[in-house]
C-alpha cells in the first residue's frame, strides 16, 4: 500500500498549494495513506462514529466559524476526540486562524496543521487531483504510446517488430509522442492514463540510427506528457495460417488495471504502411464513438441487398406460376 509522510507532502506541494506550517516541525511525521479528503463538520459537533479519520482533514470557513462560536471548555474535548483518531494532518484554507487551543492540542498530540492561502474549493480540487494521482493503481509495460487525432494509441508487440519506427512515421505525419519503450499506465477516475516510464526526456531508439530526441528534432508540439489510452494495437508478424479480422463485426478487448480497452491485432509484413493503418484505426474508432460503425453499415447493406434480391426472385417465381395457370386455363 502506498503512503507519503506529511513532511514529504508538505515539501512537494508547499508552493502549488500555498502552504505554510502552523504547528512545530516535529508534527510532520504522520503518514497519508488515503487518496480522499474530509471536512470534519460532524466530528467537530461531536459525532465521530463514521468519522473518516484516515483522510487529510480540511478546515474551511464553515469549520473555523463553528469553532469560534465555542468556548475553550467546549473546544478542548471535541478537538481532542478528533485528534485522538490519529488523523494524518489538518489543512486550513483561506489562511484563516484557528483558536489557540486547537494549535496547542495539535502540537501536544503530534498532528500537523498546515495553512493554505487558497480558497476552500480550489484547495480541495488541487489536493484531490494530487492525491488521486499519487495513490492511483499503476503498472509499466513494454510499449509505445502516441497521440493520433486526439486518441491515445498504445502500440505493443515483440521487441524489434517496428513499434518505434511506426511511431516515428506517425510523428513525422504530425502526431505526437507520449513515450517509447516503457509506458507507465495509471488508473485515474476510471480511465487509463499513460505516461513515459522514464522521466528523462522524449528519446526513441531507432534500429540502425540509434537514439534520437523527438522533442529536439521535431519540436515541443510533437510531444505530450500524458494521454488517456483509448485503443491498443498489437503488432505481430504476418503468418499465412492465421485468421485475421477482415470485416470488423467482432471486437476484441484487452484489460489493464481492470479497465477494458479495444485491441486490434495488426499483422506486419514488408511493404505494409503500418502508420497509415494506425491512423485509419484511430479514425474508425472516432467514427464508432460518434455512432457510426462501417462494419455494421456494410452488414446492413448486404442484408438489405439479399432481401431485395429474394423479393425480386419471389416476384419472378410468382409471375411464372401465374403464367402457367393461365396456360392451363
- 3 to each of 21, 116, 121, 143, how far by Cα in Å? 20, 22, 24, 28
**Closest residue by Cα to residue 56 from 9, 89, 31, 99:** 89
Grid cell at residue 103: 494549535
* Residues assigned a catalytic role: 142, 163, 181, 246
Give 171: exposed, middle or buried? Use CB within 10 Å, 0-12, 13-18, 19+.
Answer: buried
From CA 262, how far away is CA 188, in angstroms rounded?
Answer: 18
Closest alpha carbon to 201 in 222, 215, 182: 215
Residues in the chain: 329
Amino acid at each position: 500500500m502506498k503512503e507519503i509522510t506529511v513532511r514529504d507532502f508538505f515539501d512537494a506541494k508547499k508552493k502549488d498549494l500555498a502552504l505554510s506550517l502552523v504547528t512545530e516541525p516535529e508534527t510532520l511525521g504522520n503518514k497519508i495513506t488515503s487518496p480522499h479528503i474530509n471536512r470534519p463538520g460532524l466530528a467537530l459537533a461531536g459525532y465521530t462514529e463514521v468519522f473518516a479519520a484516515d483522510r487529510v482533514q480540511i478546515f474551511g470557513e464553515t469549520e473555523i466559524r463553528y469553532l469560534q462560536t465555542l468556548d475553550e471548555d467546549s473546544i478542548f474535548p471535541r478537538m481532542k476526540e478528533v485528534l485522538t483518531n490519529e488523523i494524518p494532518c489538518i489543512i486550513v484554507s483561506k489562511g484563516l486562524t484557528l483558536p489557540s487551543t486547537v494549535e496547542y492540542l495539535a502540537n501536544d498530540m503530534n498532528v500537523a496543521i498546515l495553512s493554505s492561502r487558497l480558497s476552500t474549493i480550489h484547495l480541495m480540487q488541487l489536493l484531490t487531483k494530487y492525491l488521486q494521482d499519487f495513490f492511483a493503481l499503476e503498472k509499466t509495460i513494454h510499449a509505445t504510446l502516441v497521440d493520433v487525432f486526439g486518441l491515445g494509441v498504445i502500440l505493443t508487440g515483440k521487441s524489434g517488430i517496428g513499434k518505434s519506427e511506426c511511431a516515428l512515421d506517425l510523428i513525422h505525419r504530425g502526431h505526437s509522442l507520449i513515450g517509447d519503450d516503457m509506458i507507465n499506465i495509471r488508473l485515474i477516475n476510471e480511465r487509463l492514463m499513460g505516461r513515459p516510464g522514464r522521466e528523462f526526456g522524449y528519446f526513441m531508439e531507432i534500429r540502425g540510427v540509434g537514439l534520437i530526441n523527438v522533442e529536439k528534432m521535431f519540436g515541443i508540439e510533437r510531444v505530450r506528457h500524458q494521454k488517456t489510452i483509448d485503443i491498443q494495437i498489437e503488432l505481430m508478424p504476418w503468418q499465412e495460417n492465421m485468421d485475421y479480422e477482415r470485416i470488423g463485426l467482432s471486437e476484441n478487448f484487452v484489460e489493464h488495471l481492470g479497465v477494458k480497452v479495444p485491441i486490434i491485432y495488426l499483422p506486419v509484413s514488408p511493404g505494409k504502411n503500418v502508420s497509415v493503418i494506425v491512423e485509419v484505426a484511430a479514425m474508425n474508432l472516432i467514427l464508432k464513438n460518434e455512432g457510426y460503425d462501417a462494419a455494421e453499415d456494410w452488414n446492413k447493406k448486404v442484408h438489405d441487398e439479399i432481401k431485395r434480391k429474394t423479393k425480386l426472385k419471389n416476384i419472378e417465381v410468382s409471375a411464372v406460376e401465374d403464367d402457367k395457370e393461365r396456360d392451363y386455363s
